[in-house]
Amino acid sequence: MWWFLIISLLTLLYYIWQKLGSLGKKYPLCLPHLPILGSLPYMNSSDQAHIYFTKLQEKYGHIYAFWLGPWYAVVVNQFSLAKEVLLKKGKDFASRPRMVSTDILSGSGKGIAFSEYGPQWRMYRKLVQSTFSLFKDRSSQNFEKIICQEANFLCKALSSTQGQSVDPALDCFLASANVICQFCFSSSWKRKDKDIEVMMHFNDVIIQSVARDSLIDIFPWIQLFPNKELTQLKESVKLRNKMMEEKIKIQKEKFNIDSVNNLLDALLKAKINNSHLTQEPEITDEHILMTVSDIFGAGVETTSSVVKWCIAYLLHYPQVKEKIQEEIDQKIGFTRTPVLSDRNQLLLLESTIREVLRIRPVAPLLIPHLACTDSSIGEYTIPKGTRIYINLWSIHHDPEEWDEPEKFKPERFLDKNKEQLITPSASYFPFGCGPRTCIGEFLARAELFLFMAWILQRFDLEVADDGELPSLEGEFGVVYQIIPFKAKFKQRKGWREAQLSASSQ
């Protein structure tokens, strides 16, 4: 009897304390929720998460909350609110939630992409940033040179298909993998290396299961029971780590502290320099592995995915492809290959890439953020520990900001006279913004431009023999991947003739 009274009293006091604490505070509208399960029973939609979150706005407004099991989460669907989260109060929201899947991938929060905000994350990010400068303009190993070399291999591989229907995935993957591999390890893969296909496969498994709110990320105790998805994720991460460790081992043997040539060298040097400092964040072999793997994974999966989306859209809109080719013919012709400075000339290609990044953002919900302190968004209170989902998809498809947002219209990124690139709405940040903004944006933009310019200078893209156009509905994951498709890459007449006349001279 007594214990019953005491518990009731304590519950009442707790309730009153909570109510008092929230007096005068306003919270975002919340989806209905039950104890333990949270809002999950009310969220059974067949739509992909970003589309479902976009639709929920109609009922709950641009910002709303839900309970992901025991986790309180807020979805932000509007540009001005997202800017507040990412930029204005960037530091308040710069952390990441610890999840079972991301912990498996990142060795319990090491590396850059999935690690908590703090001095350790900052140090690794800075190390990567400073390594980028080793690959700038004047250096003998500059990015432009590396990308053009890979674009050349990519075009050679496509021409060897002799216009037959092929899936370009492996060649796009290899090209992006080799650019980032030279940045990380000063090495590259050959097309026939078996590792490439293995890597493509395990990356797909990882992308489909990491940070996408599967049950293990909501109820961590589920991992105590046999779980197929979890086993597959663990196996894939093991394979990935093994492959990266092999690369690290080979490169370590060549390491010379006086000649830092790539990201791994920079990390190894920092490890030696930091070893006698007690205040600096730790640099261990596992931290190095996770940092390099993050950069490698981010570099390869994002670029190759966008190149495939570009090809797919150009198959759907052949008139856009023709116009880009006309521009290439006029501004470059067939006597030389495209270079980065052509970006100011090939405006249609640039605007097409921008439009693809708008209509099919690489990461439609970014990577979830975490409030590391009590804060607010707009007029709403956001308690410390809230998971924040930025719905980039709805921001890029906001009808208040974009004219006919569902339509593919590259010309929206050009001024009236089609002479200048413009950003028609501020509701656009394909690479995120603020403290967690994409670290490799300039590299990604350079790769996308050069790969596409090289391909379109040489090839006509045609629909595969079965007449099937690629699906424009992707697969939801931490990267919004296109469903595998086939296309024909036929050498353009002008290019062929230019080659013939060059070889006869």
* Contact window for ligand PLO (CB under 6 A) among 6-14, 127-135, 259-267, 361-369: 361-369
Q: What DSSP element (H or E) covers 388? A: strand 387-390
Phi, psi values for residue 390, rounded to 5°: -95, 115
Can you tell me which of 206, 244, 370, 414 binds ligand PLO, judged by CB under 6 A? 206
CB of 325 to ligand PLO, least distance (A): 30
Q: Is 364 in the site for ligand PLO (CB under 6 A)?
A: no
Can you tell me which of 104, 363, 390, 487 binds ligand PLO, judged by CB under 6 A? 363
* Contact window for ligand PLO (CB under 6 A) among 31-39, 163-171, 297-305, 318-326: 297-305
Pair type for strands 165-166 and 487-491: antiparallel
Q: Which pair of tokens denotes residue 33?
A: 């929720």
Q: Is 203 in the site for ligand PLO (CB under 6 A)?
A: yes
Taking 3-state DSSP, the helix, strand and coil percentages for the chain, each rounded to the nearest 5, stand at 55, 10, 35
Q: Mark residue 34 as left, alpha or beta (left: phi above 0; alpha: psi -120 to 50; beta: remaining).
A: beta
Residue in the shown chain whose Cβ atom is closest to ligand PLO: 297
Q: Contacts with ligand PLO in 49-68 (CB under 6 A)?
A: none
312 near 470, Cβ under 8 Å? Answer: yes
* Contact window for ligand PLO (CB under 6 A) among 65-73, 74-82, 135-143, 206-214: 206-214
Q: Is 478 in the site for ligand PLO (CB under 6 A)?
A: yes
CB of 392 to ligand PLO, least distance (A): 10
CB of 416 to ligand PLO, least distance (A): 33
Can you tell me which of 100, 362, 377, 390 binds ligand PLO, judged by CB under 6 A? 362
CA separation, residue 440 to residues 37, 105, 125, 142 (Å):
38, 20, 11, 15
Identity of the amino acid at 315? L
* Contact window for ligand PLO (CB under 6 A) among 10-18, 77-85, 203-211, 401-409: 203-211
Q: Is 302 in the site for ligand PLO (CB under 6 A)?
A: yes
Quick note: the x/- pattern for ligand PLO over 103-122, rule CB under 6 A, is ----------x---------
Q: Is 43 in the site for ligand PLO (CB under 6 A)?
A: no
Q: Which is nearer to ligand PLO, 356 or 362 (CB)?
A: 362
Q: Which is nearer to ligand PLO, 40 or 356 (CB)?
A: 356
**Rounded-to-integer distance, Cα 405 and Cα 428, Å:** 12
Q: Which pair of tokens denotes residue 166?
A: 């092929």
Phi, psi values for residue 460, rounded to 5°: -95, 135
Q: Is 260 in the site for ligand PLO (CB under 6 A)?
A: no
Can you tell me which of 75, 266, 298, 453 binds ligand PLO, judged by CB under 6 A? 298
Q: Which is nearer to ligand PLO, 125 or 492 (CB)?
A: 125
**Rounded-to-integer distance, Cα 447 and Cα 257, Å:** 30
Q: How many residues bind ligand PLO (CB under 6 A)?
A: 16
Q: Contacts with ligand PLO in 230-259 (CB under 6 A)?
A: 240
Q: Is 213 in the site for ligand PLO (CB under 6 A)?
A: no
Q: How far is C-alpha 79 from the chain's CA centre? A: 19
* Contact window for ligand PLO (CB under 6 A) among 65-73, 261-269, 293-301, 310-318: 293-301
**Rounded-to-integer distance, Cα 258 and Cα 235, Å:** 37
CA separation, residue 354 to residues 175, 429, 458, 466, 497 (Å):
20, 10, 22, 30, 32
CA separation, residue 488 to residues 423, 456, 462 (Å):
33, 12, 5
Q: Is 297 in the site for ligand PLO (CB under 6 A)?
A: yes
CA separation, residue 305 to residues 106, 331, 353, 368 (Å):
22, 27, 12, 20
Q: Is 306 in the site for ligand PLO (CB under 6 A)?
A: no
Q: Which is nearer to ligand PLO, 67 or 480 (CB)?
A: 480
Q: Is 463 helix (H, G, I), strand (E, B) or coil?
A: strand
Q: Which is nearer to ligand PLO, 209 or 457 (CB)?
A: 209
Can you tell me which of 31, 74, 184, 207 binds ligand PLO, judged by CB under 6 A? 207
CA separation, residue 329 to residues 148, 316, 338, 387 (Å):
18, 22, 11, 49
The contact set with ligand PLO (CB under 6 A) reads: 113, 203, 206-207, 210, 240, 294, 297-298, 301-302, 362-363, 367, 478-479
